[in-house]
Amino acid sequence: MSTNPADSAPSARRQQTRERLLDAAVEVFAEDGLQGAAVETICARAGFTRGAFYSNFSSKEQLFLVLLEREFERRAQDLAVKAEELEPKLRERSGCVSPAEAAKYVAEFFAPADDATAWFVLEVEFLLLALRDPSIAPDHHEFMDRFYASIAGVIERVIAAAGRRFVLPAERALPVLSSVYEQALRASALAGADASGAFERLGDRIAELLFALTEDIDDGDGDGDGDGNATGDRDAATGGPGAGDGDPDPGSRPGPGFVPPARMRLF
């Protein structure tokens, strides 16, 4: 997805102009939506003329895609910073974190650093743009896949610091966690000034999901029974190949009927 009308890097002054236009666009898109937002309104909010706008962006839609790239990159960077702060705390606890504490950590980790409404509007507007314009649809899928890939390593490191690991590839687990996050984001955006409760509940819900999507790694197989055979135990739970026969298959993954082992703990 190409978002920069110029091949060369912008000068410092031009970059400052672009940033002011992007900052203004966040507010205007949140208020009027992508379709309702006018270039003139964005320019007026930023304190520039239409000429300044079109010297930096070819269209309102092109500005939107640049803005989306910036905001998702900021989100990934924010998660990386939070992970660096959280990992030592989890290691100090040696994985001994209560469900209530886990929920608190999750809520703090996933809560947006900035206005939740603006973040939610950008996501929804991007989806609507892809639905209206078939040429954008592939970019939407590619963009989201790229975003998940950019944060997968960060999430896996935090999970590992808590003494756990995903029971399926991280790129498949993250969309599941993201769906719950987006529900909280939507509730927060709709609640406005009373939005704090949405992310408190988010912690509880994602912590519950982590029960099912991760496993303990203390005993080497993650099932908590000390037999060193994670695959056989998961097959026994799902009725899959090699159920209970102790024949590990590194390539196997839990199916739709996967049930977390009874002794699985959250953190």
What's the confidence (pLDDT) of residue 265?
38
Model pLDDT for residues 113-127, shown as the tens digit of each residue:
666 667 778 888 888
Residues in CB range of 34: below 8 A, 6 or more apart = 60, 61, 64, 125, 128, 129
Top-confidence range, 43-57, 76-90, 133-147, 253-267: 43-57
**CA–CA separation, 181 vs 27, rounded Å?**
22
Separation between Cα atoms, residue 43 and residue 25, nearest integer Å: 9
Q: Which range has the worst mean pLDDT, 73-87, 146-160, 247-261?
A: 247-261
pLDDT of residue 222: 43
Written out in words, the top-level CATH class of the domain with range 12-217 is mainly alpha
Report how far residue 148's alpha carbon sits from residue 153's, in angstroms, rounded to the nearest whole number.
9
Query: What average pLDDT score do residues 13-36 get?
Result: 92
For residue 137, what are its two tokens?
Answer: 């649809």
pTM of the model: 0.68
Ordered by start, the domain boundaries in the chain are 12-217
Percent share of the chain, pLDDT over 70? 71
Q: Model confidence at 9, in pLDDT bands (50, 70, 90)? A: low
pLDDT at 38: 95
Average pLDDT over residues 169-197: 77
Residue of 235 and 80 predicted with greater confidence: 80
- At residue 133, the pLDDT reads 84
For the stretch 208-258, pLDDT in tens is 888 789 888 864 454 444 444 544 444 444 444 444 444 444 444 444 444
